[in-house]
Structure 1
Amino acid sequence: MYVAVKGGERAIDNAHRLLAHARRGDPAVPEVAPAQIREQLTLAVDRVMTEGSLYDRDLAAIAIKQARGDLVEAAFLVRAFRTTLPRFGASEPVDTGAMQVARRVSATFKDIPGGQVLGPTFDYTHRLVDFLLEAGADVPEPAHAPAGETAMPRVTDLLGADDLIERNPPGDPDAPVPDLTREPLDLPAGRDLRLQNLARGDEGFILALGYSTQRGFGRSHPFAGEIRLGEVEVEFVAEDVGFAVPLGEITVTECQMVNQFKGSATEPPRFTRGYGLAFGHCERKTMGMALVDRALRAEELGEEVKAPAQDEEFVLMHSDNVQATGFVEHLKLPHYVDFQAELGLIRQMRREIAERQAGGEPLKEAAE
């Protein structure tokens, strides 16, 4: 490390001060507070929570400020903090079917039980820079839907009732659940572990892979069966009382992709599934995740594996931006000894080639 260099520790301390100065920016401009980030940069907060594997809006906001808006660095900070927390056990599976929906759209059916709920979305904006934001214009109050509970069955459940989509295998409550946050990734991985990996994976990488499946690099003809955003209750089985107790509610985004499947000699034609789930409002992430999830099921469904998004090792080993950052950015650290060894080797090879040339040996043979 640079500490080994004469004066290195003093230089590092000064680099920290320079970082704090750069983070603050112009002192004449009011400093942004974590609460402002939490409330106004919510999509950035949601991404950091998802890729940092910890649902804590306040912590994610602080990490974004500390990282100067670098969301990958912020996710790294959140993961590091997560390792210091005590672990009491695992919560019960959340029931997204009972979600308090803020947004719910389907691209497969126009009229669905419970209706389409557009909610907060960029989908219908003009993608023009709104300079009124600079002036601090007043935000109009939205119209609220009438109070009352409306049943919103999943679109995939409607298809499943007619046996038009593959069935979800029944879960075994006694089966151990792998935990990617505590155990290293082991290949081949089951679907539960793959989904954990994709949820923590870099949004841009997952998006690119999902896009690749649509361009022909993978067997995929998807329909967005349903995307829903809302609050779900988290429950935990307390040993002293013997039953599940609610811990609170979290916001999640769920995406269920409906994919074509031609069937087989033993199975009638049915649609297949792709799935994505993430903390907060992360539609782009969960859609890409659902596309890649389906692509990674190629071998399971008897399809030829020939595209990057279908290659389990390629996808899972390269999707984690924290791990990727470590491998790439470590190249900035001192490699003086390694480079000097390489430099000495190439100089020796060049000397040997020059000596052979001087002796009349052809360059090609000398190089060999």
Structure 2
Amino acid sequence: MKGERVTVREILKRYGSVTAVEDVSVDVEAGEFLSLLGPSGSGKTTLLMMIAGFDLPTAGLIEIGARDLTYVAPNKRNVGMVFQKYALFPHMSVHDNVAFPLRMRKIDRAQIARRVGDALAMVQLDAYGDRMPTQLSGGQQQRVALARALVFEPPVLLMDEPLGALDKKLREQLQIEIKTLQQRLGVTVIYVTHDQEEALTMSDRIAVMNDGHIVQIGSPADLYSEPASPFVADFIGKMNFLSVEYLGSEKAGHQIRVADASTLSVTRSVNGRAVELSPGLSLQAAIRPENISLAARGSGGPHAIAGTVDTSIYLGTHQILLVNIDGRNGPPLHIQTSASRDLSAFARGDAVDILFQADSIHLFSGKDGVQ
């Protein structure tokens, strides 16, 4: 099995006066695992359905390999498809479900038996061929659906939130299994999800979608560490946002004021819409919970921000502290620390100094609000 390149060029999809996908272009390399990530209504499933052929674009081009498939019927595209609801035939055995696409392609019986056996072994269900779908767990049914999608060796596999109906532990297990299988087979995967942790776990690259557009595309590490907008920063991982005032630039970096008193130096440039930087400009600062630390009040140095601990939450591998900035209205900061630290170090009501890593603060134009 060998993956093929998928090319999407300036795809537009309208339903009457409603535009679901607009001017989307993306190249998915052969053997790549690309996730389409976004909230409900962002256009990700509509885009996937157009690649599959179940929905036709209003304008644009879709190619797989060197073939223009923009308006080709789904059964002529030679792509595998896995849905959230499994879509297994309830009156057929596991073996017959997996064999179905081979029978539609007029493959001879001996080859069908061999390929179905190989496909079920691939998903660790080779002893389940005689069972009916109703005799299987949700995770087993999804494995059958995956085997059926791969048995005819498609170069491209499309997956529409296939793990959304499973419990958290099973979902995490299958994420690793699907990624490992995809790497071994070399098939190209386009995977729709609204779960950012799932996308970070499985993907070579992630295309973040919002309002029918791809707003940023890159590796999981790139999107996490270099979000291009407040929307991406807020959607990928956890992020704290602060309204700050721009004071000017010095050798140490941009100077900003937080909570009408404390000043910070930020070494990163301002992202988002182009703006003229001048003293008094309103900006948004964003920082990950793991890039904030606490110290006892008065010990944090000249750039510490005064705060008060509101809540402490123990989560096994780490601890979350909710801390209010003194003199500032708004939600508390989420601060993540290692659970190996002394859990009694800070308690509710403690006065603390909040310390930010200057090179971990993202600045965005105040016009680019979190959506």
Q: Sort the TM-score into its range (normalised by shorter chain).
A: under 0.3
| TM-score normalised by structure 1 residue count | 0.24
Structure with greater strand share of residues: 2
Task: State TM-score, norm by structure 2.
Answer: 0.24
Larger Rg: 1
Which structure features the higher share of helix residues?
Answer: 1
